[in-house]
Structure 1
Amino acid sequence: SSAHPYDSSTYALTWCPPPGVPHCWVGYFCVQEPIWCINADADQTIRMYHDMHTGKWWWDTQKAVERATPGATIVPITISSDKTRLTQFKGKSAYPVYMTIGNLLKDIRRKPSQQGHMLLAYLPTTSLPHIKNKAARCRTVANLYHACMRKILSSIKEPGDLGVEMASGDGVVRRCHPIFAAHVGDYPEQVLVTGVKYGECPCCDVPRDELGDDHDIQYPFRDLNAAMNALNIADSFLRAQACSDQHIKPIHQPYWLDLPYANIFFSITPDILHQLYQGVVKHLISWVKTAYSQNEIDARCRRLPPGHHVRVFTKGISSLYQLTGREHADICRILLGFIIDMPLPGGASPARLVRAVRAVLDFLYLAQYPVHTEHTLALLDDALDRFHANKDIFVDLGVRDSWGIPKLHFLKHYTRLIRRLGTADNFNTEYTERLHIDLAKDAYEATNSKDEFPQMTLWLERCEKIFRHEKFIAWCLAGRPPLTSLRLVDMQPPPDRIKMTKHPSKKLVRFEALANDYGAPFFVDALARYTVSHCHPEYSNAQVDAASDFDFPFRYDLFMCPLLKLLLKHGLRSVSVYHKAKFWLGDVNFHRLSSDEFDVVHATPSQTTKRGHIVDGQFDTVLVNDGDGMYIGVAGR
């Protein structure tokens, strides 16, 4: 590809034709069954959104393709691209392009070990430094990018219109139509792909000076036909003027211009990593650090007790910089806790600031639900409304003077895009970042660092062949079982909500140790009440108190529970102790992905090591649903 009309330089593009990739996936993973809209209730009135086929785009596109060529099977193509560094000091980088299909379950696509994504190409990484004019250089880099992507995806244009025969895992041959559905990337990548100007929304027509000002105003999505008409004008001056009217750059033949059934402005997806954690949450943390005393914030961070999945920032958070998404997630777990009663400088009320922080955190965690319904999407919009209703506190405190943040504005598109393409965990750029390790960095380490891309592709090809052969051998050793369809969503909650170890952490722990070391001085009384209530559920509270009233371990009266008498008669003075319990909590609809981790509650006393060092105890605080409590919220007992 030529970089400049007056430059004869060429740049290497390493790529694989896409039609072979869907063949590979459809044949290896997919056992096709009829696809249905799944509802959350018996009356079939509450629609559920999770994988891509539950979104409206798939159904609308299926109808459009069926009108032209009946009997079609949609194969949605999802492209993701992101530049990454291969070395820390030599300055070498790679620009991988990854590809997956929506027919694969997101539980497969989110696991790199399942190879649900495949490397499609390595784009040129040049920044064209010989072009001195910055605007011309940026425009030429964009043209080079689109020229490469147009070359890569040109082979799905005809199959997308006419179809191509593909065999699924069960051996059935279908006429499949690979159709571009989504492009996953961070904000600079979204600007590059759509051609909009930096600082504007890549999806809708909101003016730059109104970003984030009013959540109630819904601007329409950009008009694809108007953008295509502007880009197709031959005269360069008129073309530039028409593109300026549409608020896009005059890119030379964007790669999505001729793809069938493609609308790039509807193909930009929500992104949990870069839009939320590395975007809105990053801004929120900086606002909080500006509004409050940083010394007090750091002191409260240091005082937090240790807990499972809770990172203790021993030096505070005010001095941290260049935080990763994981570190922002760790801060989110404690952010509301250490500011909820912190006074603002000057004696101002922190109520609105706390509400704004809580609203952002609510949106953050709701957006990560594996399954959405109209109810949860309404909760998502409500969280965003609550933030906009309270965000002016940051203006009053002098933290912000405007809200022109594209990532913050994009949150209002989440519900619409989830209804269209499925939940946000279908398109997280965290998967792309993880793929960089396997398909770029590890591949580079296998080369001699000279002319590396041919060596990297050869190494990856060999690794892929080994992986498939290992899978085939494992299938043969298992007796060649027939392929079965994976269940999309389990409507019933699994029974293993709480898991305990097979053997206790400690045996024969005396009651005195429970009171002194474990901080449970009323354990004996609680055990007595529990035993009486278990044996006599018909007893009133007064009868339970009377039957469990005794002086341990010697005196007991005739009104005591028989089981309790038996336990004390045989000298019950110790019990076995479990130091941790594992459990999981699903979303509002009881859904849990198989890849989710268990949460762990610790109850460990302080210990002294062999060298005499004292290790502090850890006793986590939990809310136990003891009867009439709801699955969500803290109401009840």
Structure 2
Amino acid sequence: MPQSPARTQSTRRLFNIARIPCAHPGCQRLFKNKGALTQHKRAAHQHSFRMPQGRPTAVEEVPDRDAPPSDVGNNRTQNHFIRDYHIELDGRICDEDGNFIDPGAPPPPFTTRRHDDWTPYRSRLEFETAEFLFTKTQMSAGHIDELLHLWGVSLAVHGDDPPFADHVDLHNTIDQTPVGDVPWNRFTINYTGDRDGTDAPWMDGDYEIFYRDPHNVVRNMISTPDFKDTIDYAPYREWEKRPDGTHKRRWRDFMSGDWAWDQADQIAEDPLTHGAAFVPVILGSDKTTVSVATGQNDYHPLYLSIGNVHNSTRRAHRNAVAVVGFLAIPKTAKEYSSDSRYRKFKKQLLHTSLSRILNTLKPAMTTPEVTRCADGHYRRVIYGLGPYIADYEEQVVLAGIVREWCAKCIAHPSDLEHGGELRTRELVDALVEEVDFGTLWDEWGIIGEIVPFTNDFPRADIHELLAPDLLHQVIKGTFKDHLVSWVEQYLEQTHGGRLAKRILDDIDRRIAAAPYFTGLRRFYQGRGFLQWTGDDSKALMKVYLPAIEGYVPPDMVRALRAFLEFCYIARHDIITDDTLKDLENALQRFHKYREIFITSGVRSDFSLPRQHALHHYCMLIRMFGAPNGLCSSITESKHIKAVKEPWRRSNRYNALGQMLLTNQRLDKIAASRADFTARGMLDGPCAISYAKYFERKRARTVSALATELNVPNFPLLLRLFLYDQLYADDTHSAADVPLRNCPSYTGRIDVFNSAVSTFFAPSDASGISGMRREHIRAAPRWRQDSGRYDCVFVNTDNTTDGINEMDIARVLCFFSFPYKKTTYPCALVHWFKVIGTRPDQDTGMWMVRPSFDEEGAREISIIHIDSIFRAAHLLPIFGDQSVPKDITYHNSLDAYRGFYVNKFADHHAFEIAS
């Protein structure tokens, strides 16, 4: 992409950049040469790249990028999926001199170090002790010294010593780690623009930026052996083959999107890049506060990841996101805070800093370099600036636009509902050259003096690169800031202040009455809390819809339902053509039903940037893959490990230097773990782990358990269960035979208070394989309080899909018993019946009620535990009735007779209960 000479950083810079020694206490050791900045210059590439033989020199035209692949090209078929890799930038392996080698060649060994070489540690015990003390427990220096002293006393009688002498010895050992070392550097920027007779303090300040060479960080990341099974080296497109012979496109990880493919097309115009692996550099930044106390309590970290690692890896806190900088936060006296020059200076300072930090990546954005990769092979690698993760306030600065405008398109703030033409670097550059700055501000929302940092790099357009942000645009923005607030405004406007508060109190009681569910955040006082977090908003979304039903018009409930469905669909781990249609349908319904907020007088328009951003989601999914891999929740969660916890470990005085050192040590320990794991040195546990036992204080015989549970016919139910396990087939069951033909059991019973369900749920918080573990409780006392008896989905019909193949039941007891050398793990359950033949038209959720026989007794059965799929969450159908004060989350499942099957409990529940 050609650069406009008038719009590059080098020709519009208002700053001087100076490299200086670090003055922060505790930070001197980060820099070589007695505190002077360590410069990491990229060595000139010495390899002679040959033109690949037998490869086309031009990129094939693809008339329809969503069309299934042809039979020629770089296609691979796995099961019922077809994956088409980019034919030029296909990430072929090479030797360390850059010469392509046979695709089947084994990788060279990662290291020549022996399998018993624990350098800088002496043993596995030393490494795991260091990791435990510094990373896991984050023990203070004083407590480390005390622990090691006591450890040493206990070993002295045996003539042995603890792993480390004291905290100094521990820290020195970590600092000597030979892998994962990317030291911190810094530079300063100061203002050199027009003063116009003003001598404001901010004009004379030196603004310090701390950073690590992103080039080295990326090389370390792409070579991490831990990522070898969760990384893509080439852009690809994937299709799923349907039973009717047609195909549907699938978007999942970042490299499956059209943006990576289009970038590869541009790069491949240079024949010397053919065969290279494309590595998109994903950035993210967001200010965070570490304390409300006085002094320096806010920081502006810059994070980096690569688009090659899978979304699940990036979300799983496995060092696929690294902190590479702490940006300056200019401050001035209130007298100068409204000065337009100061405000523009702050914005341009960010861009200048980013351009300077990322500069070491620039040479390899056009000329490939040979890099070791996670699978052990070498590849020619070419970099590019990928998506930027940021909330709306940060997007405004990054895009150089006026607040209340959209950073992705030129829709006017007064009419954001209808969208507008997409912003592009070419459009903005042309407008800056032809239109005066005042007109740019008023009619285009462009701050003409701001030069985006992307203008200094090839193929980079900041407007294109701004990523979708589920957390701030959807969850905290549209849901919490807009819809929840509008519902409260409607109630106050309709019922007046006093009655509205009474209704809101009852809504809070409804929220607080939501039954137990694993992973559900409890709202003991409803949603009336002052400081909202992203997790608070996510948790409230799960239980909010039934809580407002009956107090607001049906269209308001339907608007909330449509919005929640949009959010949950967008959060899918895999998105297909059908998913995009569902997403568009949910958005259209949301736009239709949200009109109730205008007709009721709550709103006069919907020109809100964060709601407007939902218009762009389908396009952004096609570009970047599933949005859950680029959400700012990833960078916000990194705040905890990279900023907040290191700050708490500091002495609070000139804390940043100590925080940088802590981050560097954490990275070294993580790199050591990856190195030791790759060499097979951490296989197996370091100590014995013990199994959990059954509950010894509960009933141990059939008759005793019948009495404990107050289920007199428990022995009968057990006989029926045994018959179905031993003799039943597709046409006969225990219900078809006389009771005398059913086997009897009167022996020992083992009772358990919980069971663990493991299932595939990649859209939720889970391991990188997508497997999730969930505890299901059936305990007479839970956390020293009342009993807890969870509900579950039970597989009862394998001929249909989703909720139609399952029934809902409440677990009354988990137990097991042996019979003829076979142990049967079981659950005693109370069944629920579905109300109606389709979900509720307002909430979109299925309704159920407890099942009773003609005599009013509970319909109870014993089922094999293997028939339980996972936990289910039920929410009471409150209607227009207030919640009695004696009803809480402990007893709401017993108090009500109708329930919604909560499909918003988590994203996996949404997929199976919709």
Query: What TM-score comes out, normalization by structure 1 length?
Result: 0.82
Alignment partner, residue 272 of structure 1: 470
Question: Pairwise mapping of residues 393-408 of structure 1 onto structure 2 (< 5 A)?
Answer: 393-408=596-611
Question: For residues 520 and 326 of structure 1, do their structure 2 counterparts lie closer, same or farther at Cα, with a shift above 3 Å needed?
Answer: farther
Give the Cα separation in 2 of the matches to 1:265 and 1:307: 41
8 Å Cα contact 1:509-1:576 kept in structure 2: yes
8 Å Cα contact 2:573-2:628 kept in structure 1: yes
Alignment partner, residue 38 of structure 1: 238
Residue aligned with 2:791, SS: coil
Give the Cα separation in 2 of the matches to 1:629 and 1:619: 29
Give the Cα separation in 2 of the matches to 1:254 and 1:456: 29
Give the Cα separation in 2 of the matches to 1:357 and 1:622: 26
Residue aligned with 1:103, SS: coil
Question: For residues 548 and 411 of structure 1, do their structure 2 counterparts lie closer, same or farther at Cα, with a shift above 3 Å needed?
Answer: farther
Question: Pairwise mapping of residues 339-358 of structure 1 onto structure 2 (< 5 A)?
Answer: 339-340=548-549, 342-344=550-552, 350-358=553-561
Alignment partner, residue 222 of structure 1: 423
Residue aligned with 1:299, SS: helix
Question: For residues 474 and 621 of structure 1, do their structure 2 counterparts lie closer, same or farther at Cα, with a shift above 3 Å needed?
Answer: closer
Give the Cα separation in 2 of the matches to 1:258 and 1:546: 78
Residue 420 (1) aligns with residue 620 (2):
no
Alignment partner, residue 310 of structure 2: 105
Aligned residues: 581
Give the Cα separation in 1 of the matches to 2:759 and 2:545: 20
Alignment partner, residue 337 of structure 1: 546
8 Å Cα contact 1:2-1:9 kept in structure 2: yes
Question: Pairwise mapping of residues 186-585 of structure 1 onto structure 2 (< 5 A)?
Answer: 186-211=391-416, 213=417, 217=418, 219-231=420-432, 238-242=436-440, 244-282=442-480, 283-292=482-491, 293-317=503-527, 319-340=528-549, 342-344=550-552, 350-476=553-679, 478=681, 504-505=694-695, 508=699, 518=709, 520=711, 523-537=714-728, 544-545=734-735, 547-549=737-739, 560-561=740-741, 564-565=742-743, 567=744, 571=746, 575-583=749-757
Q: Residues 440-465 of structure 1: CA distance to partner in whole angstroms, max 9, x if unpaired?
A: 23333455544444443344334433
Unaligned runs of 5+ in 2: 1-188, 196-202, 492-502, 684-690, 808-914
Residue aligned with 1:46, SS: strand
Alignment partner, residue 488 of structure 1: none
1:191 to partner: Cα distance: 0.8
1:533 to partner: Cα distance: 4.1
1:119 to partner: Cα distance: 2.0
One-letter code aligned to 2:547? F
1:390 to partner: Cα distance: 1.1
Give the Cα separation in 2 of the matches to 1:286 and 1:352: 16
1:121 to partner: Cα distance: 1.6
Mean alpha-carbon deviation: is it higher for 116-125 or for 450-459?
A: 450-459
Alignment partner, residue 122 of structure 1: 326
Alignment partner, residue 59 of structure 1: 261
8 Å Cα contact 1:153-1:255 kept in structure 2: no
Q: Residues 280-333 of structure 1: CA distance to partner in whole angstroms, max 9, x if unpaired?
A: 22022223344452022123233333332233322222x212211111122122
8 Å Cα contact 2:319-2:670 kept in structure 1: no
Residue 598 (1) aligns with residue 773 (2):
yes
Unaligned runs of 5+ in 1: 345-349, 481-500, 550-559
Give the Cα separation in 2 of the matches to 1:538 and 1:115: 51
8 Å Cα contact 2:316-2:768 kept in structure 1: no
Residue aligned with 2:792, SS: coil
1:205 to partner: Cα distance: 2.2
Alignment partner, residue 190 of structure 2: 2
Q: Residues 418-453 of structure 1: CA distance to partner in whole angstroms, max 9, x if unpaired?
A: 111111121121221222222223333455544444
8 Å Cα contact 2:676-2:682 kept in structure 1: no
1:103 to partner: Cα distance: 1.6
One-letter code aligned to 1:367? A
CA RMSD of aligned residues (A): 3.3
Give the Cα separation in 2 of the matches to 1:331 and 1:410: 22
Alignment partner, residue 863 of structure 2: none
Percentage of pairs with the same residue: 23
Which protein is richer in strand relative to its size? Answer: 2
Alignment partner, residue 792 of structure 2: 622
Residue aligned with 2:454, SS: coil
Question: For residues 304 and 445 of structure 1, do their structure 2 counterparts lie closer, same or farther at Cα, with a shift above 3 Å needed?
Answer: closer
Give the Cα separation in 1 of the matches to 2:805 and 2:662: 57
Give the Cα separation in 2 of the matches to 1:48 and 1:411: 20
8 Å Cα contact 1:182-1:268 kept in structure 2: yes
Give the Cα separation in 1 of the matches to 2:473 and 2:224: 33
Residue 94 (1) aligns with residue 94 (2):
no
Residue aligned with 2:603, SS: coil
Alignment partner, residue 21 of structure 1: 217
Give the Cα separation in 2 of the matches to 1:126 and 1:243: 24
8 Å Cα contact 1:142-1:251 kept in structure 2: no
One-letter code aligned to 1:73? A
Question: For residues 446 and 625 of structure 1, do their structure 2 counterparts lie closer, same or farther at Cα, with a shift above 3 Å needed?
Answer: closer
Give the Cα separation in 2 of the matches to 1:83 and 1:255: 18
8 Å Cα contact 1:201-1:406 kept in structure 2: yes
Question: For residues 85 and 149 of structure 1, do their structure 2 counterparts lie closer, same or farther at Cα, with a shift above 3 Å needed?
Answer: same
Residue 133 (1) aligns with residue 338 (2):
yes
Alignment partner, residue 347 of structure 1: none
Give the Cα separation in 2 of the matches to 1:33 and 1:165: 13
Residue aligned with 2:564, SS: helix
Alignment partner, residue 48 of structure 1: 250
Give the Cα separation in 2 of the matches to 1:380 and 1:630: 24
Residue aligned with 1:162, SS: coil
Give the Cα separation in 2 of the matches to 1:437 and 1:15: 18
Residue aligned with 2:240, SS: coil
8 Å Cα contact 1:150-1:256 kept in structure 2: yes
Q: Residues 337-387 of structure 1: CA distance to partner in whole angstroms, max 9, x if unpaired?
A: 3334x244xxxxx32222122212212222221111112222222222221
Residue aligned with 2:775, SS: strand
8 Å Cα contact 1:370-1:592 kept in structure 2: no
One-letter code aligned to 2:542? R
Mean alpha-carbon deviation: is it higher for 507-516 or for 179-188?
A: 507-516
Question: For residues 316 and 589 of structure 1, do their structure 2 counterparts lie closer, same or farther at Cα, with a shift above 3 Å needed?
Answer: closer
Question: For residues 524 and 285 of structure 1, do their structure 2 counterparts lie closer, same or farther at Cα, with a shift above 3 Å needed?
Answer: farther
1:477 to partner: Cα distance: 5.4
Give the Cα separation in 1 of the matches to 2:712 and 2:615: 52
1:155 to partner: Cα distance: 3.0
Residue aligned with 2:263, SS: helix
8 Å Cα contact 1:62-1:73 kept in structure 2: no
1:468 to partner: Cα distance: 2.3
Give the Cα separation in 2 of the matches to 1:606 and 1:446: 38
Question: For residues 467 and 400 of structure 1, do their structure 2 counterparts lie closer, same or farther at Cα, with a shift above 3 Å needed?
Answer: same
Residue 81 (1) aligns with residue 285 (2):
yes
Residue aligned with 2:302, SS: strand
Query: What TM-score comes out, normalization by structure 2 length?
Result: 0.58
Residue aligned with 2:300, SS: strand
One-letter code aligned to 1:357? L
8 Å Cα contact 2:454-2:462 kept in structure 1: yes
1:63 to partner: Cα distance: 1.2
Question: For residues 539 and 149 of structure 1, do their structure 2 counterparts lie closer, same or farther at Cα, with a shift above 3 Å needed?
Answer: closer
1:107 to partner: Cα distance: 2.8
Give the Cα separation in 1 of the matches to 2:220 and 2:471: 29
Mean alpha-carbon deviation: is it higher for 134-143 or for 199-208?
A: 134-143
Give the Cα separation in 2 of the matches to 1:439 and 1:197: 31
